[in-house]
Amino acid sequence: MATKTFKISGMHCAACAAGSEKSIKRLPGIISANVNLATETAVVEYDPALVKFAEIKAAVSMLGFTPVELEDKKAVAEEVLRKQAEARAIRRRVIISVILAVPLLYIAMGHMMWSSLPLPAFMSMHDGPLGYALVQFVLTAVILYCGRRFYIVGFRSLIRRIPNMDTLVAIGTGSAFLYSIYNTVLIALGSHEAVHLLFYESAAIVVTLVMLGKYLEAFSKGKTSEAIEKLTELAPDKATIEKNGKQLEISTSELTVGDIVVVFPGGRFPCDGTVIEGISSADNSMLTGESLPVPVSEGSGVIGGAINGEGLIKFRAEKVGSETALSQIVRMVEDAQGKKAPIAHLADVISGYFVPAVLVIATVSAVVWALLGKDAAFVLNIFVSVLIIACPCALGLATPTAIMVGTGRGAEFGILFKSGEALQSAHDLTHIVLDKTGTVTEGKPVLTDIALAGTMEENKLLALAAAAESGSEHPVARAIIRAAEERALELPQASDISAIPGRGIEAKVSGKSVLIGNAALMQERGVDASMLREDAEKFSSSGKILMYCAVDGTAAGLFAAADTIKEGSVEAIKSLHKLGLKTIMLTGDNANAAKSIADSVGIDEVVAEILPGDKANEVEKLTKSGMKVAMVGDGINDAPALAAATVGIAIGTGTDVAIESADIVLMSGDLSGVYGAVKLSRAVIRNIKENLFWAFIYNCIGIPFAAGVVYAFGGPLLTPMFGGAAMALSSVCVVGNALRLRGFKIK
């Protein structure tokens, strides 16, 4: 099986996207096809043994659209240039059409407003009916030529039995234009009463309004992807590297792993890497959503696109080009915008049936009014009005535009939705399941308490212990060493260091024999630590990890370490509760430690002392009971649970495996991002529902007016021009409503 993502240029409405999907799905060997109108992207899964990609492209081309392979950089670049040129051409055609539409309206309808309309006699309705008709014919012909794409694509889609918005416009305005030509011929043959049966202005104004609406819609849609554009612009074009003691400026695309990169104060980091020299700060706000700059020094990681603060930094390039965090963010957001949310399929299904249904309604309405004795002008007005006002543009834009703006806005806060489905699923969550270590807590213990058993001073005991532990990677050992460093203690030299597996360590420090380890080690070596029992019970009841220390065979003290709660975790849990979400913490730690952490941050429920594999089982229990569950984690052992949850949320500072398994990635590593993701999801889904409501209501209200149902009961009759204006306005309104999400704030 193969999956291909490519662009489809030239689509205008939901029916265009649905038609493209249908055309592709008709081919043998197609497993799935997903066409997104807002991003003009198609994702097709197919069997290469049964169908070739060239055949898929041909199926799209047959509809009048242009398929462009994303891997073909030259074609993509040409397509960008072509679209820019097309945008300029559309703007030019719109301007020409508007300029010509003004005198056309003046000639065709001025007599309805003014009794004595100042017009030359040869184009007067009464004195020169043929000139009156021919001038309108010429002006309309030029306008319709400007909008010729509606006819090319519309009739081609009709022939392929996949009618779309262009089909409705083409049939409606084409009918009005041809009927007007017929009456112009009658006028030329002497039937001057046919001057009242000209519909040139209806055809011309409708095409002009639809073109103007499409232009405004494209302009508005361009703003929906501004977040992506801002992100792609973060990476600098040039980078300064240090080679053989000299600094060279090269293109960022030439950077390779291992290069020593120099970034001056105020400059942007051109790729990801690790600092080898310098002290500064990095503004990661556009990438992670963190409001404050983070300190960076030797050993710190830096992200491409972040802004260097006040100091000169040298770092070793580790991820370049498409491997950088910035590139991955852009790729994730683009993927999310290209994949439909389940709610989008509702619009797709409706659009697939909507256009044929409108053609039937327009035809039936026209026939009924003709049978009721109405003249040809009235019947044509009904036919054209129904076709024009029912164009499903707004329906097709309702979902993808909101998803585009929502995912882009999320990226600005460091919240990455990997699919439209993830964005939708997050809005109705009921439970948030949290891993403890690295998610709620920092994941590295710090020394919290020192209890003394003898007369040795606290700092001296700490220095001896830190010296003995200097070669150990045990988390508590590292906590002891960090505590000594923070107190700026001078550590004596240690020798004869020997690790005792599962127990602790022993060493010679300043001529003293130092033994550090658990209670079992003390007991094995005959060290009496009974005087520390009360302290040990107090510390262990709080879930702290204990480490005894004996000097020359005598108990000297007890060290207690605990994992610290991440800054912002307490506030994040409070925020989740405000959204009505229940919080559960899963951990392999002992029950006391887990309960202590949970109580400190306000988590509702704790499941402790479980194996990594059991985390997924716990999540599955909740989902099978009907709960909508999000799993939040950062480690390799969280990956199965992330995949099992309704929505998997990975802390971006965690492992690649966790990030790959998740549906949402929080780049900042801050738990408050969970609250932001749920709140943003709810805002986007609410926006989509508003868009769909207005799109549906617009058609439901508009069609009865256009078909003459309201007129039959004494109400007004909709004209094609009003229908065209309303149709264009509805699309712009839907996009405008989606753009409101750009102002979304987490707090």
C-alpha–C-alpha distance, residues 166 and 156, integer Å: 10
Query: How wide is the angle at C-alpha 597 spanned by C-alphas 596 and 599, nearest 5°?
Result: 65
H/E segment holding residue 548: strand 545-551
Residue reference for tokens 């020394």: 447
CA 408/CA 423 separation, integer angstroms:
12
Question: C-alpha distances in angstroms, 709 versus 365, 570, 693, 713?
Answer: 9, 60, 22, 7
- Say how far apart CA 237 and CA 250 lie, in whole Å: 9
Q: Which of 623, 647, 630, 592 minimizes the C-alpha distance to 434? A: 630
| Cα 469 from Cα 281, distance rounded (Å) | 31
- In Å, how far are 20, 45, 99, 150, 260 from 59, measured between CA atoms? 8, 15, 38, 19, 49
Residue with tokens 């930094």: 313
Report the catalytic residues. 435
**Contact criterion met (CB below 8 Å) for 594 and 588:** no
Which residues share a beta bridge with 433? 584, 631
Computed on alpha carbons and rounded to an integer, the radius of gyration of the chain in Å comes to: 35
Task: Give buried/exposed letters for 499-537 (b at 16+ CB in 10 A, else e).
Answer: ebeebbbbbbbeeeebbbbbbebbeeeebebeebeebbe
CA distance 171 to 167: 6
> What DSSP line would sit under 575-632, residue for residue?
HHHHTT-EEEEE-SS-HHHHHHHHHHHT-SEEE-S--HHHHHHHHHHHHHTT--EEEE
State the Cα–Cα distance between residues 135 and 137, nearest whole angstrom.
5
State how far the Cα of 511 lies from the Cα of 515, in Å rounded to an integer. 13
Residues 270, 459: Cα–Cα separation, whole Å: 44
Closest to 5 in 3D by CA, of 406, 344, 420, 334: 334
Cα–Cα distance measured from residue 95 to residue 82, given in angstroms and rounded to the nearest whole number: 20
Angle between helices 200-224 and 393-412 (to 10 degrees): 20
Which tokens sit at 588? 């392999």
- Where residue 294 falls (left for φ over 0; alpha for ψ -120 to 50; beta otherwise) is beta
User: Do 541 and 571 touch, CB atoms closer than 8 A?
Assistant: no
For residue 683, give every residue at least 6 positions away whose Cβ sits within 8 Å of its Cβ, in sequence order, or none. Answer: 406, 741, 744
